[in-house]
């Protein structure tokens, strides 16, 4: 499966699929004649091998939640494969489009080939080489199943960690394409007549995490007060240079069908509302706390003084501390040793479930704020297992309404995907997930 520009799944390596009436079995018919980059034919055996590999207990797969409901993968014939599920899984087809669900060649892997050292797939570009911390080089796959594509003979992915160097490379034409333009440079890049720019609202949302186990942050009214105190318009302007959308309710964005249209917060700060909740919680004069920020993330560092000032306006003194990655992961994030911190999603989010389960469900690895609610878990399961999109949408609305009452996390903003490319590049269509798959449909004018 693959995702269209609005993150809806459609058949790709499969030419068709069938779902059983109870939603517990999916049969995929593979396109004939598809080959891996090493020449092996892609068959149902490779599909089974790939997913059994991900489902293995010792796989270490970071997105295990996407395959946990797969009870078995069965080969019906060389071109047909069946997935049997232990429970109805609404996002299943979206999960099949996730990059981690890529099909790998069974024979090659079983022979001892290291896919980490030399990836082999069936996509439009073939891996050539990797230069550590510098570049990844690709060449055109002449046997790609979409005849004539891709249009590029070669492609080089540059690894540029310095944001100013990235902007300079795009502005000078050294780099032809980027979807990681720094917000601080957006106005400059957009004014370059030799570049085409697009700002797309995707799924890169930021949130504040109050540690739900630490007093007084264990009180939902205190967490709600923090949420009301924040000036999201100031965050958009001050940290993202206007290239973001304030989140005033649930975290599922307006472009996604799970959007709930909730307006719990104002775009600006609601100082009086926050003070009222603090008084109800027993803190009419506020309190003192700490806020630990990952200094390796520029946007979060830019947000820190704005958040600090917003909280001070309602009587909350938040002392800022900083720590670099990877120490932050080991000493702050992993063991949940913080009062307040912030984070953002860099993974592609498509189905409504992607936006909420990892953040809100009890015991999830990303739920480091330690929020846990049986009612929330039940709604998340109900939404994921709904038989129709309407049923799922209704459950996601209830879940997001509950999230505003419990305020396990405090939503902040959804930042834009900032894309710039040479005007010679034609046919590129951005995806809300940030995937670059549509580069295969693009070409250079002479």
Domain boundaries, the chain: 2-109, 204-415
pLDDT band at residue 5 using 50, 70 and 90 as cut-offs: confident
pLDDT band at residue 62 using 50, 70 and 90 as cut-offs: confident
pLDDT value at position 63?
81
pTM comes to 0.91
Task: Reply yes or no on whether the pLDDT at 347 is more than 80.
Answer: no
> pLDDT exceeding 70 applies to what percent of the chain?
100
Task: Reply yes or no on whether the pLDDT at 141 is more than 80.
Answer: yes
pLDDT value at position 348?
80
Taking alpha carbons only, the member of 89, 65, 88, 13 closest to residue 44 is 13
Q: What digits encode the pLDDT tens for the residues 68-104?
A: 899 999 999 999 999 999 999 999 999 999 988 899 9
And the tokens for 358? 């990892």
pLDDT value at position 263?
97
What HEC string does 190-211 produce? HCCCCEEEEEEEEEEEEEEEEC
Half-sphere exposure of 227 (CA within 13 A, CB side): 32
| Mean pLDDT score across all residues of the chain | 96
> pLDDT exceeding 90 applies to what percent of the chain?
91
DSSP 301-324: HHHHHHHHHHHHTTTEEEEEEEE-
CB-based burial, 348-372: b 16+ in 10 Å, e otherwise = bbbbbbbbbbbbbbeeeebbbbebb
Q: How many helices (H) and strands (E) does the chain have?
A: 13, 18
User: C-alpha angle 321/161/195, rounded to 5°?
Assistant: 120
Alpha carbon separation from 211 to 171, 229, 377, 408 (Å, rounded): 42, 17, 19, 8
Q: Which residues on neighbouring strands pair with residue 204, listed in sequence order?
A: 415
Report the run of H or E that residue 44 belongs to, with start and end: helix 44-55
Rounded mean pLDDT, 290-312:
96
CB-based burial, 82-115: b 16+ in 10 Å, e otherwise = bbebeeebbbbbbbbbbeebebbbbebbeeeeee
pLDDT value at position 446?
74
CATH 3.90.76.10 fits 2-109, yes or no: yes
Task: Reply yes or no on whether the pLDDT at 176 is more than 80.
Answer: yes
pLDDT band at residue 324 using 50, 70 and 90 as cut-offs: very high
The span from the CA of 227 to the CA of 225, in Å, is: 5
Q: Which residues on neighbouring strands pair with residue 292, listed in sequence order?
A: 321
CATH 3.30.470.20 fits 204-415, yes or no: no
CB-based contact 201:432 (threshold 8 Å): yes
Rounded mean pLDDT, 191-218:
97
Q: Is 138 helix (H, G, I), strand (E, B) or coil?
A: strand
Residue written as token pair 């900032």? 418
Rounded mean pLDDT, 47-53:
97
Alpha helices in 336-414 (DSSP H): 352-360, 374-385, 389-406
Q: Which residues on neighbouring strands pair with residue 425, listed in sequence order?
A: 444
Rounded mean pLDDT, 431-443:
92
């Amino acid at each position: 499966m693959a995702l269209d520009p609005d993150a809806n799944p459609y058949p790709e390596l499969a030419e068709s699929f069938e779902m059983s009436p109870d939603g517990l079995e999916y049969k995929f018919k593979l396109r004939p004649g598809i080959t891996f980059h090493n020449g092996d034919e892609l068959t149902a055996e490779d599909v089974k091998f790939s997913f059994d590999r991900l489902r293995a207990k010792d796989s270490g797969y970071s997105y295990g939640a996407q395959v946990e409901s797969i009870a078995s993968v069965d080969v019906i014939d060389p071109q047909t494969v069946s997935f049997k599920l232990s429970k109805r899984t609404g996002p299943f087809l979206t999960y099949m489009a996730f990059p981690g669900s890529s099909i790998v060649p069974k024979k090659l892997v079983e022979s001892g080939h290291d896919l980490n050292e030399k990836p082999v797939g069936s996509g439009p570009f073939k891996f050539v080489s990797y230069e550590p911390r510098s570049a990844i080089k690709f060449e055109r796959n002449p046997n790609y199943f979409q005849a004539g594509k891709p249009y590029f003979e070669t492609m080089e992915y540059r690894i540029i960690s310095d944001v100013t160097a990235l902007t300079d490379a795009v502005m000078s034409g050294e780099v032809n394409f980027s979807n990681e333009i720094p917000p601080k440079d957006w106005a400059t890049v957009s004014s370059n007549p030799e570049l085409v720019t697009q700002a797309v609202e995707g799924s890169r949302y930021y949130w504040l995490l109050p540690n739900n186990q630490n007093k007084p942050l264990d009180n939902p009214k205190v967490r709600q007060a923090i949420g009301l105190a924040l000036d999201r318009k100031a965050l958009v302007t001050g940290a993202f240079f206007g290239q973001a959308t304030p989140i005033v309710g649930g975290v599922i964005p307006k472009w996604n069908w799970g959007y709930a249209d909730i307006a719990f917060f104002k775009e600006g700060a609601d100082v009086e509302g926050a003070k009222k909740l603090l008084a109800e919680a027993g803190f009419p004069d506020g309190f003192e706390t700490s806020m630990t920020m990952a200094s390796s993330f520029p946007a979060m560092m830019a947000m820190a003084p704005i958040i600090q000032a917003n909280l001070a306006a309602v009587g909350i003194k938040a002392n800022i501390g900083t720590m670099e990655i990877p120490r932050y992961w080991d000493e702050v994030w992993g063991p949940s040793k913080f009062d307040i911190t912030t984070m953002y999603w860099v993974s592609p989010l498509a189905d409504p479930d992607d936006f909420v389960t990892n953040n809100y469900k009890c015991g999830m690895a990303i739920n480091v704020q330690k929020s846990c609610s049986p009612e929330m878990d039940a709604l998340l399961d109900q939404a994921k297992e709904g038989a129709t999109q309407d049923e799922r949408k209704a459950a996601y609305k209830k879940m997001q309404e509950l999230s505003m009452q419990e305020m396990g996390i405090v939503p902040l903003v959804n930042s834009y995907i900032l894309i710039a490319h040479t005007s010679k590049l034609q046919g590129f269509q951005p995806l809300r997930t940030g995937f670059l798959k549509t580069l295969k449909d693009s070409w250079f004018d002479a």
